[in-house]
Amino acid sequence: LQAGGEQIGWGFQFQTPGFVILLSALVFVLGLSLFGLVTIQLPGMASLGGVGRERGREGARDGLTASFFNGVLATVLATPCTAPFMGTALGFAFTQSAPLIFAIFAATGAGMALPYAVLAARPGWTRFLPKPGEWMERFKQFMGFLLMGTVLWLLWVLGKQLGMEAVIWTSAFLLALAVACWIIGQWLDLRSTRRRRLTAWIAALAITAAGYSVFLHPLLASANNLAQLQPAAEAVGERWQPFSVERVEGLIASGSHVFVDFTAEWCWTCKVNEYTVLADDDVRERFAELDVQLVRADWTNRDAEIAKLLRAFGRSGVPLYVIFPGGRPDHPLVLPEVITTGIVLEKLEEAEALRRESAGRGEANSPRQAEQS
């Protein structure tokens, strides 16, 4: 994608509403399976919500395929944010050649697989793991609630992208999907005839297709227009101003400090920082005392300008926090992905010290010039 000219970064797939809807449906079905409503047989995966099978070599092959798809799902759900440790590494990776990019991501995957590799190399250590028992059924159902919570989060992201109407229509589709899963779960068992199985699957697929045609197809057809309208309505909050390079350059030219928050609605770390640190009374009071201009660069939907600036600061995704000191915008202060009240206040004092030192000096570089450098 990058070689084809796409402006991509870590978590970029969440900028596509269709992907968010697809992932919502997948996680929703997995949650239903953990509740025992349906037993789904996915490629290479043991029965979801049912009892696994042991089939010699074929079972071993299925186990490897299951591990692969479980890893894919875990990675997809873990990619909204780069915090707290991956921001710099991924920013470096996306500026390198294809072989080096693959090498870096292979190393990241090896790190995710390390605990399993250690247990495979030291089978005796499995004695420290909990023993199987009735608790596993309750734990499985508890995990189902966590997946349903994930669905709520994905719907919230979709609402920020396309508005509440999109959430309602997608929820209606998920209801149709639940009915389809219920049909499969109620009609099919180990004694079901081939005809009964075929009838159940046809009915389930028909309900799913009808739900897509009625609820999702019109929504996805207008998704681009809705995505363009939504950020304009929600980007501004209190003292925060929506991002544009021209706006930031104008604020810098006025001699004020400019604090730019690169964020996205699907980034958990971004929202935690926003509702805790950036909303802290001490931080807000200091923003007001220093007349800091607050700009929010919302990357929830695709934005080429934001993607370019992220790369200019060596990052491939959000969160990113940058302070352009008044009078010294050529010396931007980059904050870590996980911020604290102390860190923000310290950087604000550093910016104020730079402004005092540069009093009476000429203009410095703008964000556009920083992007080019």
pLDDT tens profile 317-353? 889 999 999 888 889 999 998 899 999 999 999 999 9
**Domain map (residue ranges) of the chain:** 12-226, 235-372
What does the block give as tokens for 291?
């007349």
How many beta carbons lie within 10 A of that of residue 277, not counting itself? 20
pLDDT tens profile 93-132? 655 667 877 887 788 788 878 888 898 888 888 888 888 8
Residue 8: pLDDT above 60?
Answer: no
- Average pLDDT over the chain, rounded to an integer: 80
Superfamily of segment(s) 235-372: Glutaredoxin (3.40.30.10)
Does the global pTM surpass 0.85?
A: no
State residue 95's pLDDT score. 58
State residue 209's pLDDT score. 96
Stated length of the chain: 373
Residue 358: pLDDT above 60?
Answer: yes
Place of tokens 């007349």: 291
What are the DSSP E strand ranges found in the chain?
241-242, 258-263, 293-298, 320-324, 333-335
Which of 37-41, 75-79, 184-188 is the most confident on average? Answer: 184-188
Cα angle for residues 238, 272, 290 (degrees, 5° grid): 45
